[in-house]
C-alpha cells in the first residue's frame, strides 16, 4: 500500500470522523442510561404512591375498637385510669401523634402484663379480658403503623395477630387481604 499525502489526509479524516462518532455514541449511551434510571425512579415513585393510595383507601374503613371485644363474657375494665388511657391512645392515633400513642400503648401493655402476673381478681373471665386487651393494644399498634405508612411493619404485626387466632384475628386477616 502506497502512502501519499492524499491517503494520509483521508486516513486522518476517517480517524477524526470515527473518533467523533465514538464520542457521540458514548454520549448517547450515557444519556440513554440516565433516561432509563430516571424512568425507573419515576415508575418506582408512581408505584409506591399508588400502593399507598390503595392501602389508605383499603384501611380507611379500619376502625379502632373503642371498647375491647371480649370473648363473649362482656367483662370490661373497672379501673378508670386504664379505660381512659385506652381512649387517649385512640385520640393520639387519630390526631397522628404516633410516638405518644406508642408510648401509651407500651405503658398500658406493661400495666396489663403486671396485672396478669399478679391478678387482683381470680375470675377467669377477668384474666381473659386482660388477654383480649393485650391483643387490642397489638391491633391498635398495627393500625398506627398503617396510618403512619410503615406498611411492612404493620403487615408483620397483622400476620402475628392473625396467626394468634385471638379476638382481632379476623380483623387482622381482613386488613391483610386488603393490603395485597
pLDDT tens readout for residues 48-64: 777 776 666 665 544 43
Nearest to 89 by CA among 125, 142, 32: 142
Q: What is the pLDDT of residues 105-131, one digit of tens each?
A: 999 999 999 988 888 878 888 888 888
Three-class SS string for 138-178?
HHHHHHHHHHHCCHHHHHHHHHHHHHHCCCCHHHHHHHHHH
DSSP state of 73: S
What are all long-range contacts of 148-151, with beta carbons under 8 Å and residues at least 24 apart?
148/96, 148/98, 149/52, 151/51, 151/52, 151/55, 151/179
CA distance 162 to 156: 10
CA distance 19 to 49: 45
Residue 41 has pLDDT above 90, yes or no: no
Q: What is the pLDDT of residues 167-179, one digit of tens each?
A: 889 988 888 888 7
pLDDT band for position 93 (cuts 50, 70, 90): confident
Element housing 6 (H / E): helix 5-59
- Cβ-in-10-Å burial (0-12, 13-18, 19+) of 130 comes to buried
Question: Please, how many CA atoms are within 13 Å of residue 107, restricted to the half-sphere of its CB?
Answer: 11
Q: For CA atoms 101, 94, 87, 145, give the dihedral sign.
A: negative
Amino acid at each position: 500500500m502506497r502512502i501519499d499525502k492524499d491517503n494520509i489526509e483521508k486516513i486522518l479524516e476517517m480517524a477524526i470522523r470515527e473518533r467523533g462518532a465514538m464520542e457521540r455514541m458514548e454520549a448517547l449511551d450515557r444519556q440513554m442510561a440516565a433516561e432509563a434510571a430516571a424512568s425507573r425512579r419515576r415508575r418506582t415513585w408512581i408505584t409506591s404512591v399508588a400502593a399507598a393510595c390503595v392501602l389508605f383507601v383499603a384501611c380507611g374503613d379500619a376502625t379502632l375498637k373503642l371498647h375491647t371485644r371480649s370473648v363473649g363474657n362482656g367483662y370490661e375494665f373497672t379501673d378508670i385510669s386504664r379505660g381512659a388511657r385506652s381512649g387517649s391512645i385512640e385520640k393520639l392515633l387519630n390526631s397522628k401523634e404516633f410516638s405518644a400513642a406508642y408510648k401509651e400503648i407500651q405503658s398500658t401493655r406493661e400495666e396489663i402484663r403486671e396485672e396478669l402476673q399478679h391478678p387482683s381478681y381470680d375470675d377467669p373471665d377477668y384474666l381473659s379480658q386482660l388477654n383480649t386487651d393485650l391483643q387490642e393494644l397489638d391491633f391498635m399498634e398495627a393500625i398506627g403503623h398503617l396510618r403512619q405508612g410503615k406498611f411492612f411493619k404493620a403487615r408483620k404485626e397483622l400476620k402475628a395477630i392473625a396467626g394468634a387466632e385471638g379476638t382481632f384475628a379476623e380483623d387482622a386477616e381482613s386488613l391483610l387481604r386488603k393490603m395485597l
